[in-house]
Amino acid sequence: MVAIMTRWTWGCLAAVVLPFFGALVLVFGFVMPPIWRDDDRLDALLDRVLAYPLPPETSELSGQRDTDFGRSLFGGNGDYCDYRIRIVLQTKRTQEEIQKHYRKAIIKGAEENATLTLFFEDGGDTSGRRVIVEVTDSHGSDWDWRCT
């Protein structure tokens, strides 16, 4: 015997399934756009950091790039989102030359200019000096649950 679904059966199935999918679409429509927007902001900040030229005789160490996003990365509490990008460089230049090069850097953040900080790991010889370039930025939270 072949089972034939009647209109009543389809109606019952729709009454059970449609609210679930409706809620899923509603949640997806409200939750995901702020996440996508903040992910795009982090990607755009990374692009601006990488667009700034490296000092002469300096290269980025592969696999040493790190990005982070969330609330309270820098301490404190509040309704804001923090971004942090770290890039590890290897250079033959002195600390003073690297500082002079990056002192000119103006990297646009989400609302204001981002903050650039340098950390030096001096290996002694001129071929193995490492520099960590850290760029941070913050902006007010706008409905991204990761920042509230």
Q: What tens digit of pLDDT does each residue of 45-99 get?
A: 999 999 999 999 999 998 889 988 877 666 666 677 888 999 999 999 999 999 9
Mean pLDDT of 7-18: 73
Query: Could you count the other beta carbons within 10 Å of the beta carbon of residue 126?
Result: 11
User: What average pLDDT is seen over the chain?
Assistant: 82
Q: pLDDT value at position 8? A: 73
Mean pLDDT of 111-122: 89
Residue 2 clears pLDDT 50, i.e. is over it: no
pLDDT given at position 15: 75
Mean pLDDT over 101-110 rounds to 91
Residue corresponding to tokens 């000119």: 104
Q: What is the DSSP string of 13-70?
A: HHHHHHHHHHHHHHHHHHHHHHHHHHHHHHHHHHHHHHHSPPPTTEEEPTT--EEEEE
What local confidence, expressed as pLDDT, does residue 1 receive?
40
What is the per-residue pLDDT for 74?
67
pLDDT exceeds 80 at position 142:
no
Q: 114 pLDDT band (50/70/90 cuts)?
A: very high
